[in-house]
Structure 1
Amino acid sequence: MTTPAPNDRDKRIYDRDTRIDVLRALALLTIFVDHVPGTVFESWTYKNFGFSDAAEAFVLISGISVALAYGTKFKPGGRLLATLKMWRRAGVLYISHIVITMVVIALFCAAALFAHRPEMLTMINIEPLMKNTPQVLLGVVTLGHQLGYNNILPVYAALLLAAPAFVLFVSYRPVPALIVSGLLWLVAGIWQIAPPNYPEPGLWFLNPLSWQFLFNIGLAAMLHVKRGGRIPVNPWLLGAAGIYVIGAAIWVHSPLWGQITWFNLPVVIGGFDKTFLSLPRLPHILSVSY
């Protein structure tokens, strides 16, 4: 008796690295726990022991997963299909974000009405919706108005929209691509360039122009591995990474934590800002990953 050959769908399932799915799910679960303040679990999540948190882990893993899913397919003759798949995925994320936003608003409205907690309508950026409904609804649809704790999917969708260009550039010129990506991160951070909020003032909480650098680091690393390369385990680098992680864990539990920036440097260099992915956060997540 012979075993039938697996079809294309089965082969894709067999080839899928489920470890990435597990790690990304853990990152999302940790983000969820972090976004429910006051629970006993929140005190033990990753963010309490270093400069970065689960959002950095999620974006880095997302770059790796894009390389795994589309890196080998992004070749002449297959680029259009791969691009459409990435954009379709971005569309799914956009719809998911809108649905989640509406559900969250409904839950807070229900709490305000049935639990007699009107103050719920002043939390997590819902109050502008109550005061300026038409403009804020337009902002929700255009991603210019994001509820508090609902910021990860918009940046991920934006990164997926740009992912075809990232994959193409990184595939052919990985080092120049990362240099350009790093310069974009630096320029966006120094001059505070980010998608604007609407109708409220301000910028996106997670700036895709900054977070693309971490995404591209994950993308470039996995494309390198997919082509037969390897990430060398250097004892000196491993030791330096360990020292940095331990030092960060001590730092965040010391009086030093909370300083906006050091030595009057731009926040993106000398601070711990999450919007622009400040420099200390980058080596922390990379050290943990290493």
Structure 2
Amino acid sequence: MAGMPTKAIGAQRTSISVAASKRDTRLDVIRGLALITIFINHVPGQIFEYITTKNFGFSDAAEAFVLISGIAVGLAYGSGFKAGKRLEMAIKAAKRAFTLYLAHMITTFVTLALFICGAWLFHRPGLLVEINILAVLMNLKEGIPALLLLGHQIGYNNILPMYGALMLMVPLILLLNEKSALLALAVSGMVWLLAGIYQIAPQNMLFEGDWFLNPFSWQFLFTIGIVSMMHVKRGGTLPRHPLLFALALGYVVLSFIWVTAHLWDLGNYLAALGLPAVLTGFDKTFLSLPRLLHVLALAYLVINIPAVSQAFRRPADHPLTILGRHSLNIFVAGTILAMVGQVLLYITNRDQVIGPIFVLVGIAAQFAYAYHLEYRREQEKTPPLAGGAIPVPVRISRGVDAYGQGKRK
């Protein structure tokens, strides 16, 4: 920008700020809320856990997070996936998957260190039998490779492997969507159904069983997010009809009553119909239909109720917007903090005062970290001015990658 007239610089900054102000921040805000909810749920045994979304419906923050991530992938990768650039976009998705793998390794081994140190320092060996840790410690020769190969996942450290696997599927999803949105949804739905019926999932290595979150099942929700966003980007609109609205609202209300009134025994009547469990159950591993329909119904209501939709549309500098914008970093920090919280609650016998205080402090720490990341981002992107003038931070409109990390357009 050296030699650029001052007025030109000012005009450029104005246009940049206007572009940023028009950015739809609902994805960041909802993702920020999902991050907070996941953190609270990952510190079980304290009172805030009982007021999170999982207690009021079939789905929880994990479903919301995956749907939002699919939408974000449609934004970040969809337009660039075209002839001559498909390989480039596939490599980009693979790099993101590897980044998620590295992040998972950080949270996994930090979790191991926290629980081992907690058991040693506070003389509480029971910590070593929590969250699938003992299987690794009893057989390090096989346990460590199993962790590295994702064949063993420590409890509460199982979202990122699933999401990394979904990122590897992105090129295929986008290729199918390029042919036809209905084709992409049909193929994805068939994979979801077959995985649920025949229990097809990546296997554990240290003991029998599957991944806690099966990517072959969760890819359907992810694909729905991608295809929906691509449809909108092409100028399409999501279907709006009073009947669909009534069905979505009725299903959300039914789910609320079912969960809050503990009507789980009614599931036996559904099972008696002889249909596959993936259609009638509430299993999270294979993303059973009731859970899938619940998160989609919620999303439909958020989009179609103006007051609700507007409530999620916050300014770019709103705390929740900033939190959601740096979601991968915040997720890693939140996971580590949650593991600290689990150790703390264990050694204090789940003290009902310490637990809530820790959760509040942990949430505050995540917001502080998000603001630190935002400050660094602003410093890195501020363009130098002619004559050595001190640059004024400005917000530049960016695209969004799978975890909300901005990329220059």
Same fold (TM over 0.5): yes
Q: SS where residue 280 of structure 1 aligns?
A: helix
Name the CA shift for 1:231/1:178 in 2 (closer, same or farther; >3 Å): same
Tell me, in whole angstroms, the C-alpha distance in 2 between the residues paired with 1:16 and 1:154: 30
Which of these residues, 113, 116, 138, is aligned with residue 106 of structure 1? 113
The Cα of 1:28 is off from its aligned counterpart by 2.3
In the TM superposition, residue 184 of structure 1 has moved relative to its aligned partner by: 0.7
Return the letter of the residue paired with 1:169: L
Q: Which residue of structure 2 lines up, in the alignment, with residue 240 of structure 1?
A: 247
Give the AA of the match of 1:262: A
For residue 110 of structure 1, report the CA deviation from its aligned partner: 1.1
User: Partner of 2:356 in structure 1?
Assistant: none
Instruction: Confirm or deny that 1:172 pairs with 2:179.
Output: yes
> Contact 1:171–1:223 (CA<8 Å) still a contact in 2?
no
Deviation at 1:255, TM superposition (A): 4.0
Could you state the TM-score of these two structures normalised by the residue count of structure 1? 0.93
Partner of 2:207: 200
2:271 pairs with 1:262: yes
Paired amino acid for 1:3: I
Question: Percent identical across equivalent pairs?
Answer: 53
**1:153-164 correspondence to structure 2 within 5 Å:** 153-164=160-171
Structure 2: distance between partners of 1:247 and 1:225: 30
Give SS of 1:202's match.
coil
- Structure 1 residue 35 and structure 2 residue 76: aligned? no
**How far 1:43 sits from its partner (Å)?**
0.9
Report the Cα distance in structure 2 between the residues aligned to 1:21 and 1:95, rounded to whole angstroms: 23
Give, in whole Å, the separation in 2 of the partners of 1:273 and 1:19: 28
Gap regions ≥5 residues in structure 2? 1-6, 301-409
Aligned to 2:293: 283
Q: How far apart are residue 203 of structure 1 and its match?
A: 0.5
Give the structure 2 partner of residue 96 of structure 1: 103
Matched ranges for 1:131-146 at <5 A: 131-146=138-153
Partner residue in 2 for 1:2: 8
- Report the Cα offset of residue 153 of structure 1: 0.4
Shift of 1:85: 1.4
Establish whether residue 150 from structure 1 lines up as the match of residue 157 from structure 2: yes
Quote the Cα distance in structure 1 between the aligned partners of 2:234 and 2:215.
27
Larger radius of gyration: 2
- 1:266 shift after superposition: 2.0
Confirm whether residue 228 of structure 1 aligns to residue 235 of structure 2.
yes
Larger deviation, residues 188-197 vs 263-272: 263-272
Aligned-residue offset at 1:5: 8.1
d(CA) in 2 for partners of 1:220, 1:183: 16
Distance in 2, Cα, partners of 1:39 & 1:171: 47
Structure 1 residue 16 displacement after superposition: 6.3
Over 3 Å counting, the alpha-carbon distance change for 1:189 and 1:41 in structure 2 is: same
- Superposed CA RMSD in Å reads 2.0
Residue 17 (structure 1) shift: 4.5
* Counterparts of 1:250 and 1:23, CA distance in 2: 24
Question: Aligned letter for 2:278?
Answer: V
Whole-Å separation in 1 of the counterparts to 2:130 and 2:220: 31
* TM-score of the two chains, using structure 2 as the length reference: 0.67
The offset of 1:214, in angstroms, is 0.5
Greater RCO, CA 8 A, separation 6+: 2
Secondary structure in structure 2 of the residue aligned to 1:2: helix
Pair 33,255 (structure 1): closer, same or farther in 2 beyond 3 Å:
closer
Structure 1: gaps of 5 or more residues: none
